[in-house]
Amino acid sequence: AYFEALTRKGRATPTDDVASLIANGEVDGKPIPDIEANGYYIIIATAGHDTTSASTAGGLLELIRSPEQLQKLKADPETLLSTTVDEAIRWVTPVRHFMRTATEDYSLRGKTIKAGESAVLWYPSANRDEEVFREPFKFKVDRTAEDSGAKQLAFGFGAHVCLGQHLARMEITSIYREIFSRITDIELAGEPQYIHSSFVGGLKSLPIRYRIK
């Protein structure tokens, strides 16, 4: 009901925001049906929430497990905060996979994907590719932008790249800045629990114990 009202408002008084763009979208000269417009709204809302919270919590967990990395970040937050955020996103890669269909024959390492065949893209595997990342199975707060931010595929790629990637980075940066400027100690206070999902994964709960300044 909320999104249907949003569509009506966007059509009556269009603005330059994403909601109005969806509400007034057309395919083959015809308006997008309401059910499809609602689908766009829902996927933007849920994708932005679940993925960002998963990356935030997953990065925090790895910093707790890697105290030397946490101390390195706290010693130089102005330099390392942005690379830490990108590393958290690479490390967690909350969207696990997507299915794509080849539009033409494509050879890949001795295998041929034929036009019309489907292939699964496993993003966590891509973000731990030894040919792309140095020490891919290590969480590094000082991983350079060239080694992480410019190459990690957690936000997708090309026409399917995440619309909210800049907002997600900004949100995680804000949270981390506030947390790590205030705490003196942080540790696990229980066993982390994970979401049971093969598509969008991440932590369901992260019990912690901490001290603040």
Q: Measure the N-to-C terminal CA separation of the chain; round to a whole number of Å.
A: 45
Closest CA to 123 of 164, 89, 150, 146: 89
In angstroms, rounded to a whole number, what is the distance separating the alpha carbons of residues 202 and 8? 35
State the amino acid at position 75 in one-letter form.
A
State the pTM of this model: 0.84
- Over its length of 213 residues, how does the chain's per-residue pLDDT go in tens digits? 898 898 999 999 999 998 999 999 999 999 999 889 999 898 888 778 889 999 999 999 999 999 999 999 999 999 999 999 999 999 999 999 999 999 999 998 899 999 999 999 999 999 999 888 889 999 999 987 656 556 889 998 888 888 889 999 999 999 999 999 999 999 999 999 999 988 888 999 999 999 998
CA angle 56, 163, 127 (to 5 degrees): 55
Do residues 58 and 89 make contact, with C-beta atoms less than 8 angstroms apart? no
